[in-house]
Amino acid sequence: MTKRLFVYGSLKKGFGNHALLEDSLFICKALTIQPLVLIDLGSFPAVLMEKGESQVSGEVYEVTDSVFESIEHLEGYPSFYNRTDIPVLLNPGTDGETVEAIPIYHLNRESGYGDRSQVVKDGIWQEHVYSKDRGYYHG
């Protein structure tokens, strides 16, 4: 059985944990419908399920149950991250735009993390990671 999953950080193409998705079907780029808070936790981001300034940019994949279980382990579900189905805009900015409820991992507030001073204001993790200000800039 397969299911769809919205990813926005280290599981996206070009990041270290994407290897978990290498055999999964990439569906499309996507945005959260609701503006949410995306924060920088150092080597990875986290979404806070509260109103933010920007939609969160991500990718949607079709994953098998075994891949889903591996990702649950990576995300520390349910102690570090929780998982919730939220409305996501698929193929934003194209003629094929649609909305679908898709699971997203978000920070469990009881984990003790979540400093709002580390907000990724534009909701785009890869631009934040490779910015001159953060130190990973390769331009």
Return the ∠ at Cα 99 (arms to 96 and 103), rounded to 5°: 125
Residue 58 has pLDDT above 50, yes or no: yes
Give the pLDDT confidence of 21-57 residue by residue, as tens digits.
Answer: 999 999 999 999 999 999 998 889 999 999 999 999 9
* Residues classed as catalytic: 75
The CATH homologous superfamily to which domain 2-127 belongs is Gamma-glutamyl cyclotransferase-like (3.10.490.10)
Q: What is the pLDDT of residue 42?
A: 84
Residue 15, Cβ neighbours under 10 Å: how many?
16
Q: Are the CB atoms for 90 and 30 separated by under 8 Å?
A: yes
Mean pLDDT, range 117-137, rounded to an integer: 74
Domain positions in the chain are 2-127
Q: What is the pLDDT of residue 128?
A: 84
Extract the tokens encoding 54: 């920007």
The Cα–Cα gap between 125 and 10 comes to: 9
pLDDT bracket for residue 137 (50, 70, 90): very low
Give the pLDDT confidence of 59-101 residue by residue, as tens digits.
Answer: 999 999 999 999 999 999 999 999 999 999 999 999 999 999 9
The rounded Cα 55 to chain-centroid distance in angstroms is: 11
Q: What is the pLDDT of residue 94?
A: 93
Mean pLDDT, range 11-23, rounded to an integer: 95
Q: What is the pLDDT of residue 117?
A: 64
